[in-house]
Structure 1
Amino acid sequence: MAEEAGTREDAPDKRKWRLIALAVLLVGLAGAAALWFLRPQQQEEEPPDRPPLVSVTRIERESEPLRVSGRGDVRPASEVGLSLQVSGEVVWVNPRLREGERVRRGETLLRVDPGDYTVRVEEARAEVERARVELAEAEESGATREEEFERLRDRIEGESAGPPDGIESDFLRPGEGEQATAELAEEPSPLALGQPQVDAARAALAGARARLESARRDVARTRLTAPFDAVVRSKSVERGQFVRPGEVLAGLYDAGSIEVAVPLIQRKAALIPRVFAPVTSGTAAGGPATVRVDFGGTRWAWEAMVEGAEGAIDPATRTLDVVVRVARPLTGARAVRDGGEAGDPPPLLPGFFADVEFLARTPPAYFEIPRDALRAEDRVWAVRDGALAFVPVTVVAREGASVFVTGEELADGERIVTGEVPSATEGMEVRTDEGRSAPALDARESGGVEPAIDEGGA
């Protein structure tokens, strides 16, 4: 009971100390708030009115040959579908007749059964012999008739002749007057000498010989051969298959010549020398070109020549296809950028999508500028004596992020503005970022001391 009474006496003391602590806390918070509101206000200074800051780049006069680039599909320069001119059962197929294999000119690719055609050759040969015999008989008969004519002429001229008998009547004509007298014809008719029979026999022999030659050709046509060194692109025949004339059995493309058709806008195509020159005697119309393809992590290149432009503008894209020809597509590859283990050089195969670089017409001197430095109406903004100057230029070519221009008013080492400048006017004063370093710019942006700025002087 005594302990419970002591606990009741201590409770008012604890409550008193809690109230004291709360009062002290409230007083502290009130003081902090008073200090915040009574702090001295920092005076914001108006920044001075300064010219806008612009980015510039210096340009240098160049004279290296310009290059025009484009992309296009690799395709065969020459491609054929092979078929037979005779029908028959396929009895042999070359094991190399399969897609991707290379075959030589004149190599036999398949054969059909020549049996029936061999029989026709023998029949035609027998017909030739028969026609030869008939011609000999006709010629012999004609010679006999000519001899008879000569004997009759001698008999009539040497003594009086009686009425003609037998074959002699073919050479005589009746005389005029009451009594017919036999007179020797000055020239006997071809029919009397048997000449039509000889001509017919000769024609029959010529026809028999032609049929023999045709039969021999049919035997040769039972073999399908490669017309040139080629790569097999397709095959649609097997042994035992019956084939008919004109049925496409295999597709080949010329292994020695591959081309790339590159669609170019007309401004680019016009920069390629002799792009519309006619191709004669297998010579290229234009200059050299380089074909590049990425394969297996490596960039490969082939030397090529400009073949010329195709004969029409694409109505959908308004581009012109310029064709380049690669003379050694199977063995001419060289690595130009190695992404690791290059491996064996690949052939340039139809279906690749290739980058092509052309040598272009090049002015004596030009400038390369960033694409965003070219303004409307083909002008650039140069910084001269701390102010903008609008300088006209002539665009020669556009390639990637660069534009190649010429301009009589541009100077070597000229500083031109890149990027946008709001409300730019000619003669407007500007500051340039030339000579600024990244740490200095970071210091300015973080509130540090701003470095000295080139105000546009030389």
Structure 2
Amino acid sequence: MSKFSGRLVLFGGPVLILGAFILLFAVLFSTAPEPERGEVEARPVAVFVTEAEARPVQLTVNTQGEVRPLTEISLTAQVSGRIDYVDPNFVQGGFFEAGQTLVRVEDDDYRLAVTRAEALVSQRRQQLLLEEAEGDLAREEWESLGEGEASALTLRQPQMEDARAQLAAAEASLAEARLNLRRTRISAPFDGRVRSKNADLGQFVGAGSELGEVFSTDEVQIRLPLTDAQLGKLGIPLAFQAGDSEGPTVLLRAMLAGEPREWTGHVVRTDSAINPQTRTLYAIVSVEDPYGSGAEEAGAPLAIGLFVDAFIEGREISQAYILPRSALRGNDTVYVAEEDGTLSVRTVSVIDSNAEEVVVANGVEEGERVITSPVRAAADGMPVTPLGPDGEPLDGLADSDASSADQPEGEDSASVASAG
């Protein structure tokens, strides 16, 4: 065998063997039977549902505000002098009645001024009587001796006018002296409480000195901010004034002394303008006698400065649907489990919502089953298995169907699995 033939056998043999294997693989692949294609059946998703029920709904607006006094003033001295009396209730937090003397300025000088003014009035009155008598005498003399019409000076009319003027001035001085004497006793024209005290016994005060701050306990008010949407729920005009009739009822809540308390008030009016910073309109709520009858319901007074949650009674909707908050997807979407076992995506009109419930006007019908549990990749026509509140399948489905169904994600998934 030649050298060339040996090399051909050495390199050609493996190539022939590889080609034979490739040819055999191609023949086997081309003659192999094709596998039958099977259709994958979608398994229904187990979901919790609640039945939509139409009923009248009373809308409620929730907001917050601070309790403020209706009337609050500064007690100010109108005369000067030394304080010689302070009422025991004139202390921070003290109660007082209308007209009760809280502070008294020493009045000896003012009593003397009254005495002097009374004496002057008596003197001026005597002068007027003397001038009137002189005038009568002059008239009689003129009528008996004179001819024609007597002049005003002859009849002493200017002298009498001057005497009357001096008497009026003396009486005015007496009224002023008596007024200053009354002003030595400082009081408030309403029942109330003392917020602060700035003067005390023995202190000299001048006219205009501030002695303290007091507020009325007859009524308190709370200013509550309202957005445009909240005004729509209340159904009141921008320029609302309750007048003789009561405005919307307001339930006020707060934690006081470690216990929840509730008070009842009414909206009496709205502010005259919208706040330019917050773009809200304030409603004014009034609570009468917050330290008396207004405190009986809560068992505690509605204290000034307390921050309260307010729930205002709004419009009444004749027919709406109240659903769990978990039923709402996004801003205006809910899922409904149809009678044929499929999912339907619905768009609803949301009237109101909070952390627990959502109120919708339309988009669902009476008796329809609204899905409340999470659904992954929801789409119209998706097969679902509706479950009741107890986790049992509805429509007479077998327990095995629910147990074999895919479980929804989220907190309810464990419940669905255990129910299956």
The question of a shared fold, defined as TM-score above 0.5 by the shorter chain, is answered with: yes
Partner Cα separation in structure 2 for residue 109 and residue 424 of structure 1:
74
| Corresponding residue SS for 1:193 | coil
Residue identity (%): 34
- Could you tell me how far 1:223 is from its partner in structure 2? 0.5
Of 356, 376, 388 in structure 2, the residue corresponding to residue 435 of structure 1 is 388
| Contact 2:72 2:213 survives alignment (8 Å) | yes
Q: Specify whether residues 437 and 395 from structure 1 end up closer, same or farther in structure 2 by C-alpha distance, changes over 3 A only.
A: closer
- Could you tell me how far 1:320 is from its partner in structure 2? 2.3
Deviations 1:382-441 (A, max 9, x none): 33344444444333223333222212x53122222446656555x33241452386799x
Partner Cα separation in structure 1 for residue 161 and residue 284 of structure 2:
58
The answer to whether the aligner puts 1:241 opposite 2:203 as a matched pair is: yes
| Corresponding residue SS for 2:174 | helix
Which residues of 2 match residues 154-169 of structure 1 at below 5 A?
A: none
Structure 2 match to 1:312: 273
Deviations 1:86-118 (A, max 9, x none): 111101101111112211111110101111111
Of 395, 408, 413 in structure 1, the residue corresponding to residue 350 of structure 2 is 395
| Corresponding residue SS for 1:218 | helix
Q: Which runs of 5 or more structure 2 residues have no equivalent in the other structure?
A: 1-37, 394-399, 408-420
* TM-score, normalised relative to structure 1: 0.71
Partner Cα separation in structure 2 for residue 393 and residue 436 of structure 1:
23
Structure 1 match to 2:70: 77
| Contact 1:89 1:112 survives alignment (8 Å) | yes
| Corresponding residue SS for 2:264 | strand
The CA RMSD over aligned residues, in Å, is 3.0
Partner Cα separation in structure 1 for residue 356 and residue 93 of structure 2:
40
Of 70, 87, 90 in structure 1, the residue corresponding to residue 83 of structure 2 is 90
Deviations 1:343-383 (A, max 9, x none): xx321111111122222111111111234534567443333
Partner Cα separation in structure 1 for residue 389 and residue 172 of structure 2:
93
| Contact 1:131 1:204 survives alignment (8 Å) | yes
The one-letter code of the counterpart of 1:401 is E
| Contact 1:396 1:406 survives alignment (8 Å) | yes
User: Who wins on radius of gyration, i.e. which is larger?
Assistant: 1
| Contact 1:56 1:432 survives alignment (8 Å) | no
Structure 2 match to 1:278: 241
Q: Specify whether residues 94 and 277 from structure 1 end up closer, same or farther in structure 2 by C-alpha distance, changes over 3 A only.
A: same
Deviations 1:46-104 (A, max 9, x none): 97544656554333222253322222111112211111211111011011111122111
Q: Specify whether residues 221 and 56 from structure 1 end up closer, same or farther in structure 2 by C-alpha distance, changes over 3 A only.
A: same
| Contact 2:337 2:386 survives alignment (8 Å) | no
Q: Specify whether residues 373 and 145 from structure 1 end up closer, same or farther in structure 2 by C-alpha distance, changes over 3 A only.
A: same
| Corresponding residue SS for 1:369 | strand
Partner Cα separation in structure 2 for residue 224 and residue 270 of structure 1:
48
Structure 1 match to 2:179: 217
Q: Specify whether residues 316 and 137 from structure 1 end up closer, same or farther in structure 2 by C-alpha distance, changes over 3 A only.
A: same
| Contact 2:241 2:270 survives alignment (8 Å) | no
| Contact 1:285 1:308 survives alignment (8 Å) | no
Partner Cα separation in structure 2 for residue 115 and residue 211 of structure 1:
17
Of 207, 231, 245 in structure 2, the residue corresponding to residue 269 of structure 1 is 231
The answer to whether the aligner puts 1:404 opposite 2:348 as a matched pair is: no
The answer to whether the aligner puts 1:206 opposite 2:168 as a matched pair is: yes
Partner Cα separation in structure 1 for residue 274 and residue 188 of structure 2:
35
Partner Cα separation in structure 1 for residue 183 and residue 402 of structure 2:
90
Stretch of structure 1 that moved more, 429-438 or 249-258: 429-438
Deviations 1:263-321 (A, max 9, x none): 222211333354643244xx465122222221233212222122222223233332222
Deviations 1:320-342 (A, max 9, x none): 22221111311333577xxxxxx
Which residues of 2 match residues 89-128 of structure 1 at below 5 A?
A: 89-128=82-121
Partner Cα separation in structure 1 for residue 376 and residue 406 of structure 2:
20
Structure 1 match to 2:212: 250
Which residues of 2 match residues 14-413 of structure 1 at below 5 A?
A: 48-50=41-43, 55-153=48-146, 184-185=147-148, 187-272=149-234, 274=236, 276-280=239-243, 283=244, 285-331=246-292, 332-333=294-295, 345-375=299-329, 378-384=332-338, 385-407=340-362, 409-413=363-367
Q: Specify whether residues 347 and 216 from structure 1 end up closer, same or farther in structure 2 by C-alpha distance, changes over 3 A only.
A: same
| Contact 1:54 1:432 survives alignment (8 Å) | yes
Q: Specify whether residues 251 and 48 from structure 1 end up closer, same or farther in structure 2 by C-alpha distance, changes over 3 A only.
A: same
Stretch of structure 1 that moved more, 230-239 or 318-327: 318-327
| Contact 2:90 2:197 survives alignment (8 Å) | yes
| Contact 2:63 2:310 survives alignment (8 Å) | yes
Partner Cα separation in structure 2 for residue 244 and residue 400 of structure 1:
59
* TM-score, normalised relative to structure 2: 0.77
| Contact 1:291 1:356 survives alignment (8 Å) | yes
Partner Cα separation in structure 1 for residue 281 and residue 117 of structure 2:
57
Stretch of structure 1 that moved more, 92-101 or 263-272: 263-272
Deviations 1:182-233 (A, max 9, x none): xx33x33323322121111111111110110010010000001121110111
Partner Cα separation in structure 2 for residue 58 and residue 421 of structure 1:
18
